[in-house]
């Protein structure tokens, strides 16, 4: 008999050799229906011990005491298993339709999955055929079975596929190759090579996979692209087919709806149309902010500075270029060198900073701090540079130079919970101002880490106590913390339901030691401060991009580059329009005048295309009565509003940073 422990701590004995599927029959119907794979831990009795967990098929047999967790689409691993299984269905469909096609690799990626195939270029019509064939394969409900091959058997089986043979050749006796099937590659110990069969189709793969093809109920092939074998331009160009899949049709429909909405909100398109920012070949990955963009940028900065001053932060600015020795002390030179831009100054090796922290530590070390100064909150809007590969650059979301709203908080151990709580309150104020909802995740000690058990326990407890005191739900990611400490991540949700990881609160137990940071206690002895790294915007460039898409370019009044546009009915009212412009500018309201000899309806349409929040029409009636006619971007219309009343109301809306205007 063996004893199986479940995630809730309950235990039950079973006969040796029982499969996960057989155990699953005793679990609730909902779990049975949603199960895709399982995680087992046969080496430790500790729940959530990620180091000893193994992802397996539901058909896997258990022969020793183990901790068992059923994996569903709600788990990251479940999504990967489901989508990689879909990639195998895609591969089978291609080989059934085009027998001479050569399969290579088919991994899961952030946007779904893909499979690279040697074949003449596929057409959109081909995708329709492949998708139809995939539906046939799903309807067959063919079992997906794991099998193991020797190297010799694998070579014989894939003798007509030079790509698979190349990967098989690269396998050694103790390690597996990566990428064959996208779930880490085929492999095993010794000469064992794992593969998965579904009917007549077989592909090298580590797995695991869903039990049968019928589980993959909802999918769509998204696009075709070219890709070189192993990313090398010297190799043959392959055809890459991208797809997405979900356990039910509603999830797919919602995903496709979000994609359509995202196209309308694409910050790259809106950024160009609204003249916010641009990119140029002369500086790939380095954004140029235009005047309209700088107006919004400065409003975001002003808001940040105002709120941080209220919260007791001081602001510093550290150099962009610092010496190699500093980056060696911080560890970046060893672990991050490939992502850093370096240069020589006076024959000394230097680097453009990829992070702000080391410069901040030098500022802290300028004098010995007293316990009375703690907590010490030091903020910096630091300009950092990181070398990103050209293929991953994406508008403001992925750039090579960006600004981080970093802050480093130095404190005593006793101040951890209260300081974390203050950061969470500050983050909430920021996100609520922009109408962004968010959720929290706590990541705990990873397998490889620095610091003692006691330090980790105290640090994790400090973060957990702060989260508990908020009364908010949060997710725990066991083992996903940074090597230097546990962390809280804040994931914001935009107007169409997409989530973005922006804010983070990280406890660091490595850098105070590396930089010999101290404070003087009541008795005159020196102690290490506890340190928090934290950001709220994260990357300001990325947050800017998120806001463009969240608001679809229709910024709230306080952020809008042009807050008011005055439309004159004809030339004889231009003077009144200019008078109003001067009046509004004196009250720090951003305004322009459209005095073109165009019809009023055309001027209104143009203002709407420019996403101007407030449009004022002035003609004979308004000029004679010193009033304005107001039209808002969301369709509100109001006539005969006095200029003083209008200015008062606009200033009130701007000051409150209201998202919606009510005139």
The catalytic position among 83, 133, 386, 542 is 386
Q: Is 385 a catalytic residue?
A: no
387 noted as active-site residue: no
**Cβ proximity of 140 and 210 under 8 Å:** no
Nearest to 566 by CA among 605, 602, 607: 607
Query: Which one is catalytic: 220, 398, 487, 603?
Result: 487
Measure CA 419 to chain center: 25
Residue 386 annotated among the catalytic residues of the structure:
yes
- Burial pattern 72-106, b for ≥16 Cβ within 10 A else e, equals bbebebbbbbbbbbbbbbbbbbbbbebeebbbbbb
Q: How far apart are CA 223 and CA 242, in angstroms?
A: 5
Cβ distance 382 to 404 under 8 Å? yes
Q: Which of 92, 404, 455, 506 is catalytic?
A: 404
Which residue among 57, 84, 126, 357 is the active-site one?
A: 357
Burial of 349 (0-12, 13-18, 19+ CB in 10 A): middle
Q: Annotated catalytic, 209?
A: no
Q: Which residue has the tokens 């802290």?
A: 364
DSSP-derived secondary structure letter, 398 = B
DSSP 3-state percent helix, strand, coil across the chain (nearest 5): 40, 30, 35
What is the DSSP-derived secondary structure letter of residue 25? T
Where helices occur in 311-397 by DSSP H, the ranges are: 324-330, 332-335, 357-364
Instruction: Clarify whether 403 is annotated catalytic.
Output: no
Strand partners, 441: 475, 489
Q: Six-digit token pair at 390?
A: 């050209």
Residue 43 to residue 63: CA distance in whole angstroms: 12
Displacement of CA 79 from its chain's centroid (Å): 16
Separation CA 14–CA 26 (nearest Å): 12
Cβ atoms of residues 444 and 476 within 8 Å: yes
Mark whether 408 is an active-site residue. Answer: yes
Helix (H) or strand (E) holding 352: strand 348-352
Q: Spot the catalytic one: 116, 406, 592, 610.
A: 406
Per the annotation, the verdict on 239 as an active-site residue is: no
* Distance in angstroms between the alpha carbons of the first and the last residue of the chain: 74
Answer yes or no: are the C-beta atoms of 382 and 403 closer than 8 Å: yes
Out of 83, 88, 400, 408, the active site residue is 408
Which residues are designated catalytic?
Answer: 357, 386, 404, 406, 408, 487, 533
């Amino acid at each position: 008999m063996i004893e199986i422990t479940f995630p809730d701590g309950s235990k039950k004995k079973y006969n040796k050799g029982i499969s996960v599927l057989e155990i699953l029959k005793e679990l609730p119907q909902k779990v049975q229906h949603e199960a895709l794979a399982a995680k087992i831990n046969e080496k430790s009795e500790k729940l959530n011990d990620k180091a000893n967990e193994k992802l397996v098929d539901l058909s896997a047999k258990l022969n020793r005491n183990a901790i068992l967790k059923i994996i569903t689409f709600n788990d990251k691993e479940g999504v990967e298993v489901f989508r990689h299984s879909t990639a195998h269905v895609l591969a089978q469909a291609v080989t059934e339709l085009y027998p001479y096609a050569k399969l290579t690799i088919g991994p899961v990626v952030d946007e779904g999955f893909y499979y690279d195939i040697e074949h003449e270029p596929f057409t959109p019509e081909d995708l329709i055929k492949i998708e139809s064939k995939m539906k046939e394969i799903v309807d067959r409900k063919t079992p997906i079975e794991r099998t193991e091959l020797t190297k010799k058997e694998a070579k014989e089986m894939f003798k007509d596929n030079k790509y698979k043979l190349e990967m098989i050749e690269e396998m050694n006796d103790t390690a597996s190759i990566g990428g064959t099937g996208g779930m880490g590659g085929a492999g095993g110990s010794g000469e064992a090579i794992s593969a998965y069969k579904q009917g007549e189709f077989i592909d090298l793969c580590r797995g695991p996979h869903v039990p049968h093809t019928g589980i993959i109920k909802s999918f769509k092939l998204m696009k075709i692209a070219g890709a070189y074998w192993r990313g090398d331009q010297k190799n043959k160009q392959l055809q890459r087919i991208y797809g997405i899949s979900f356990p039910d049709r509603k999830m797919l429909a919602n995903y496709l709806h979000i994609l359509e909405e995202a196209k309308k909100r694409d910050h790259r398109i809106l950024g160009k149309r609204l003249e916010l920012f641009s990119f140029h070949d002369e500086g790939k990955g380095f954004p140029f902010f235009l005047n309209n963009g700088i107006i919004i940028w400065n409003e975001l900065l002003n808001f940040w500075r105002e709120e941080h001053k209220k919260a007791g932060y001081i602001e510093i600015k550290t150099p962009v270029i610092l010496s190699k020795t500093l980056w060696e002390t911080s560890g970046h030179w060893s672990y991050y060198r490939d992502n850093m831009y370096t240069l020589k100054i006076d024959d000394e090796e230097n680097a453009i900073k990829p992070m702000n922290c080391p410069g901040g530590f030098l500022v802290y070390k300028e004098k010995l701090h007293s316990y009375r100064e703690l907590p010490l909150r030091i903020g910096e809007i630091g300009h950092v540079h990181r070398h990103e590969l050209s293929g991953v650059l994406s508008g403001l979301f992925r750039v090579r130079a960006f600004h981080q709203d970093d802050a480093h908080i130095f404190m005593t151990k006793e101040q951890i919970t209260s300081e974390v709580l203050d950061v969470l309150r500050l983050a909430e104020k920021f996100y609520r101002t922009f109408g962004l909802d968010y959720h929290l995740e706590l990541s705990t000690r990873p397998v490889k880490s620095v610091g003692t058990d006691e330090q980790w326990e105290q640090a994790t407890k400090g973060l957990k106590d702060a989260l508990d005191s908020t009364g908010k739900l949060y997710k725990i990611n066991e083992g996903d913390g940074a090597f230097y400490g546990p962390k809280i991540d804040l994931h914001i949700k935009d107007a169409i339901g997409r989530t973005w990881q922006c804010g983070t609160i990280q406890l660091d137990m490595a850098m105070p030691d590396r930089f010999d940071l101290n404070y003087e206690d009541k008795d005159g002895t020196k102690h290490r401060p506890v340190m928090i790294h934290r950001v709220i915007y994260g990357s300001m460039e990325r947050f800017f991009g998120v806001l463009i898409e969240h608001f679809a370019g229709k910024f709230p009044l306080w952020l809008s580059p042009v807050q008011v546009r005055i439309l004159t009915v004809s030339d004889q009212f231009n003077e009144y329009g200019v008078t109003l412009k001067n009046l509004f500018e004196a009250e720090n309201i951003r305004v322009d005048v459209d005095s073109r000899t165009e019809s009023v309806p055309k001027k209104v349409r143009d203002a709407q295309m420019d996403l101007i929040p407030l449009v004022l029409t002035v003609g004979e009636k308004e000029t004679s009565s010193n009033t304005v006619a107001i039209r808002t971007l969301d369709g509100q219309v109001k006539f005969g509003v006095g200029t003083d009343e209008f200015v008062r109301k606009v200033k009130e809306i701007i000051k409150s940073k209201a998202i919606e205007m009510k005139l």
